Amino acid sequence: MNDKLKIGITCYPTLGGSGVVATELGKLLAEKGHEVHFITHSMPFRLGKFHKNIFYHEVEVSQYYVFRYPPYDLSLASKLAQVAKMEELDLLHVHYAIPHAVCALLAKQMVGSKLKVVTTLHGTDITVLGQDQSISDLIRYAINESDAVTAVSKDLIKETRELLDIDRDIDLTYNFVDKRVYYPRDVTKLRGEFARPEEKILIHISNFRPVKRVQDVIDIFANVSKRIPSRLLFVGEGPDLSKMIAKVKELGLTDKVTFCGKQDDVSQVISLADVMLLPSEKESFGLVALEAMACGVPTIGSNAGGIPELITHGETGYLADVGDTETMADHVVNLLSNQVLYEQVVQNCLDRARYTFCNDITTQQYEEIYYRVLGRE
């Protein structure tokens, strides 16, 4: 089946794996000829330039004075219904159960059951909100009433079933990277601006939330830098950033660590690095590790959540228990001290990213789900 669809997409448009994946998926669907309507509170940051077949509808929140809290969720539901009607959308693909799936289900009630709702679970709505009794019934409702539900790792599916007592079908749709954007680049010149030729570069990219355990990144680097000449690059910003800047100073590592801040396009900076560090406490997938893998940069991190589904220990990177920074540092040193092993691991990364997590596979998988819910298989 290859008829073209009209798809509404709602996601968190700011930094974070779910918004990035939703935006990239929308761009790829548009390239395949589908009409894609982003319905969000601000422009998704990876949307970038003008694209044929992509439309953007901004959700404006009413500031009417009787509202103690501006009702974003109701404004979104109403906008989803409005766009669905006006543009004759076939379906809404919403990323995150709360509030997006709930809003989409309300829009569906307003528009009629021909409008289908596909919900993708990315993590936080299950692993954090799912534990909150006051909201778990609503999340369960959103999941059970969606026409299809997908999740980005087997671990997340398992957790959804256990925490929320869900037994409906959930499709596994791993995250993906666009191979035209993430590939190994020759960055010799740029690298010279960050490190001396004998120095190795370690990188960490995140939203600096406590769950990312950025402190562990510093501990790993402090250990590694005593054993091999190396530097650390941090990309991104978030709640723990200032604490981490202070920590780096306290440890006397300021000369070896660069905080690059938030970057809109990380594909080039990743290629500067020799390894990626991802020691998270929880991670439903770990998109940055995949972005690194596609650029030929192995990840050393924790075996939390969905990370082991992405990183095959000993083949495309190395994993240790959450908080075991010593073992992680040993893995970094072993890998970076053995050129033959390093080249093999890099090759494994490139193959795995290309054959297992590539944009073509995932886009087709989502299309099949759309056709299935619309009864057009």
Assess 205 for contact with ligand U5P (CB under 6 A): yes
Q: How many residues interact with ligand U5P (rule CB under 6 A)?
A: 17
Interacting positions 108-147 with ligand U5P (CB under 6 A):
none
Assess 262 for contact with ligand U5P (CB under 6 A): yes
Assess 44 for contact with ligand U5P (CB under 6 A): no
Interacting positions 284-303 with ligand U5P (CB under 6 A):
285-288, 291
Assess 328 for contact with ligand U5P (CB under 6 A): no
Quote the least distance from Cβ 326 to ligand U5P, whole Å. 24
Can you give the chain as a three-state secondary structure string?
Answer: CCCCCEEEEECCCCCCHHHHHHHHHHHHHHHCCCEEEEEECCCCCCCCCCCCCEEEEECCCCCCCCCCCCCHHHHHHHHHHHHHHHHCCCEEEEECHHHHHHHHHHHHHHHCCCCEEEEEECCHHHHCHHHCHHHHHHHHHHHHHCCEEEECCHHHHHHHHHHHCCCCCCEECCCCECCCCCCCCCCHHHHHHHCCCCCEEEEEECCCCHHHCHHHHHHHHHHHHHHCCEEEEEECCCCCHHHHHHHHHHCCCHHHEEECCCCCCCHHHHHCCCEEEECCCCCCCCHHHHHHHHCCCCEEEECCCCHHHHCCECCCEEEECCCCHHHHHHHHHHHHCCHHHHHHHHHHHHHHHHHHCEHHHHHHHHHHHHHHHCCCC
Assess 13 for contact with ligand U5P (CB under 6 A): no
Binder of ligand U5P out of 235, 300, 307, 349 (CB under 6 A): 235
Quote the least distance from Cβ 81 to ligand U5P, whole Å. 30
Assess 310 for contact with ligand U5P (CB under 6 A): no
Quote the least distance from Cβ 363 to ligand U5P, whole Å. 17
Assess 154 for contact with ligand U5P (CB under 6 A): no
Residues that bind ligand U5P (CB under 6 A): 15-17, 20, 205-207, 235-236, 262-263, 266, 285-288, 291
